[in-house]
Amino acid sequence: MNIINTIMKPVSIIMLLGMLLAGCQAKEKWYRGNTHTHTYWSDGDAAPDQVVAWYVDHDYDFLVLSDHNVMQQGERWHPITETGSLPLTQQHVDLIEERFEPGWVEIRERDGVREMRLKTLPELQAFCKEEGLVLIPGEEVTDRWNKNEVHINAINNIEVIPPQHGDSVQDTIQRNLDAIAEHGRKHDRPVLGHVNHPNFVWSLTVEDIASIRGERFFEVYNGHRSVKNHGDATHPSTDELWDLALVERLANGAGDGELLYAVATDDAHNHHGNNLHSIPGRGWIMVHTDACTPESIIPAMKRGDFYASSGVNLNGISADGRRLRLWITEQPGATYTTEFIGVRRSDDGEWTKPGVLSTVVGTSATYEFTGDELYVRPRVTSSLPHPRPYKEGDRQMAWGQPVRPG
């Protein structure tokens, strides 16, 4: 099993000196990123430059703009109006002019309407590079089967991947995941697909998520107000769905039988709103790797070297097949509860239902494997409320990836 982070291992002065003398540097770091956000290029309510500037100003290392079936390519102008569904007000134009260098904003007038040109991906990437944010290309491949919404984020694609359409929900998911993987092979670049908001209009079932092959990522937390992360009386929460899908895959051979990893994202559409809207800053991932590039981040995610967060940060997390350990970055006034969730074999040899195997209160937590687990995953909940909650009462959390005893 991989050591995800060794940052908390005690390092003696002698070892440290030895490392310095040997020219060694601690190579790997945690990089914070959001892989799901919308702009005027589709149905987001802000210009792409204003959106990326928000992430620059809020301590992110990487970002993916994931507009619906479109990338930020070509010439596009947006009307400057005070009303309408996606109004670009003069006040927002003024804010962009203030934030960016003189001459950045381009305005024209067509048929008596003033319009602002939307910045393209290369222009946005150049700005982000100057500001220390890595802008990774992306798209929300937005498909549907009957009334079921099948939305899959493509990360690091170089051109638009059109929705592939299928003859069932599972076929639609798989065709789109396969198209993303094929795009990566064709263009010889790392790409990743994650299945989005399974509970959005109750579109995807446990079986649908369990069935995916090749790519194996889904959103356990999506910050959009309508996606029903918490489920309801007849639908599992996304957290429960994760466990049920893991059992289907690991115990019953669904999909490709591999572990299923989870991301947290913003899915921000309302960049000027308040907590009642789908604002940025709700969910993100922390990826542990040696460089903030798609070539490092995507393989690290495929190894499971990342966690999902809605506010709790970890100093480190490690798994060696015998124990699973994590260390929490303490915030003043917070207490932390870590639940190790999983499935174990009962005395009669059957798998138990997914549930909490042990709970630890404190800033570090360890789970010792007995060897009879199907998988275990840690989930940390802070006593502090989420400052930009998806739903009233949300607290800050972190979700580690599932691991198997080894």
How many distinct helices (H) and strands (E) make up the chain? 8, 20
Q: Which stretch binds Zn ion (CB under 5 A): 56-64, 185-193, 265-273, 321-329?
A: 265-273
Is 151 among the residues that bind Zn ion (CB under 5 A)? yes
**Smaller CB separation from Zn ion, 241 or 357:** 241
Q: Determine phi and psi for 204, rounding to 5 degrees.
A: -120, 135
Please report the DSSP string for 280-295 in residue order.
Answer: SSS-EEEEEESSSSHH
Closer residue to Zn ion, CB minimum distance, 164 or 289? 164
The amino acid that residue 405 corresponds to is P
Q: Which stretch binds Zn ion (CB under 5 A): 88-96, 185-193, 234-242, 264-272?
A: 264-272
Size of the site for Zn ion (CB under 5 A): 4
Which of 118-126, 263-271, 351-359, 365-373 is the region at the interface with Zn ion (rule: CB under 5 A)?
263-271
- Least Å from the CB of residue 172 to Zn ion: 14
Q: Smallest distance, Å, CB 68 to Zn ion?
A: 7
Minimal distance, residue 353 CB to Zn ion, in Å? 30
Q: Which 3 state secondary structure label does DSSP give 93?
A: helix
Residue type, 406: G
Q: Which is nearer to Zn ion, 139 or 140 (CB)?
A: 140
What is d(CA 90, CA 86) in angstroms, rounded to the nearest whole number? Answer: 13
Picking from 45, 39, 32, 51, the residue whose alpha carbon sits closest to that of residue 87 is: 45
Q: What is the DSSP letter of 200?
A: G
In the range 181-200, which residues lie near Zn ion by CB under 5 A? 196
| Residue 28 or 267 having the CB closest to Zn ion | 267
Nearer to Zn ion, 115 or 143 (CB): 143
Report residue 377 as tokens.
Answer: 């995953």
Which residue is it, tokens 């960049």?
271
Is the Cβ–Cβ distance between 230 and 391 less than 8 Å? yes
Task: Indicate which single residue of 243, 267, 339, 394 sits in contact with Zn ion (rule: CB under 5 A).
Answer: 267
The stretch among 19-27, 137-145, 343-351, 377-385 that binds Zn ion (CB under 5 A) is 137-145
Q: Which is nearer to Zn ion, 32 or 151 (CB)?
A: 151
Interface segment toward Zn ion; rule CB under 5 A; list 2-10, 139-147, 303-311, 325-333: 139-147
Closest CB to Zn ion among 248 and 267? 267
Q: Which is nearer to Zn ion, 5 or 50 (CB)?
A: 50
243 binds Zn ion (CB under 5 A): no
Query: CB under 5 A: which stretch of 84-92, 129-137, 138-146, 156-164 binds Zn ion?
Result: 138-146
Compute CA 128 distance to the chain's CA centroid, rounded to the nearest angstrom.
Answer: 19
Q: How many CA atoms lie within 13 A of 291 on its CB side?
A: 5
35 within 8 A of 64, measured Cβ to Cβ? yes
Which DSSP symbol is given to 276?
Answer: T
For residues 301 and 213, give the distance between their C-alpha atoms in angstroms, rounded to a whole number: 16
- Asked whether the beta carbons of 284 and 33 are under 8 A apart, the reply is yes
CA end-to-end distance (rounded Å), the chain: 7
Residue nearest to Zn ion (CB): 151
Shortest CB 66 distance to Zn ion, Å = 6
Q: Site residues (CB under 5 A) for Zn ion?
A: 140, 151, 196, 267
